[in-house]
Homo-oligomer: A and B are copies of this chain.
Amino acid sequence: MAYHHGNLRQALIDAAVTLARSGGPDAVVLRAATREAGVTPNAAYRHFADRDDLLAAVCQVAMDELAARMQASLAEIDDDGSPAAAWARLRATGRAYVDFALAEPGLFRTAFTSLAQAQHGGLPPGEGGVRMKPFEILSACLNGLVASSGLPPERRSMAETAAWASVHGISELLLYGPLRQLGADERDRAIDKVLDTVAFGL
């Protein structure tokens, strides 16, 4: 499968991810990606329908990266089936989520923009475009919580929504909101406060 370039498609995605990493979705500029890959602008059209198609690929990568980090932090906690372990697992995914947002604001923002575009543009409903692996990870954690008796089943309903909203919200607030100037310590305390409140609230 190595033609002239080798694997231009992947090279373009890599370059575009780098752009998104440092400047968010708007920085995913088709010409910049081809420049970085050492190729003519129009060469991109052999591999992507248009700029949006390239952006969609980047969004998928960003979302997958977020899921991978959540999964990785989950792997560090051994699941002995106890409620305490189940709560620790939930907290770990939340923390990983926020850490990813803070460490990679550009990718974090990008991860959610293909969803935004699917809203305006076409894209058949149900055919969700980007797969939301993070959502599935969160659901699994909550299921584990119920299974371990850490959470009464009658409180399980819509727990994803409550948990995700808090964790996503604190990420945005720390990045772009009134909390963006916080020092590292205060930031940690803010994140803990949010995670505490969610756990208690559920």
Contact = CB atoms under 8 A, between A and B. Distances in A.
Nearest to A169: B169
Contacts of A164: 169, 173, 177-178
A201 interface: yes
Contact of A162 (B166, B178, B180): B166
A170 B179 contact: no
A128 to B, nearest CB: 8
B177 A112 contact: yes
A79 interface: no
A193 B116 contact: no
A151 interface: no
Given A180-B119, A197-B198, A201-B198, A168 B158 contact: no
A180 B172 CA distance: 17
Q: Report the copy number of this chain in the oligomer.
A: 2
A3 interface: no
B179 A161 contact: yes
Interface in A112-155: 112-113, 115-116, 119, 125, 132, 135
Contacts of A168: 169, 172-173, 177
A68 interface: no
Contact of A112 (B176, B181, B190, B201): B176
B197 A162 contact: yes
Interface of A: 26, 112-113, 115-116, 119, 125, 132, 135, 157-158, 161-162, 164-170, 172-173, 175-181, 189-190, 193-194, 196-202
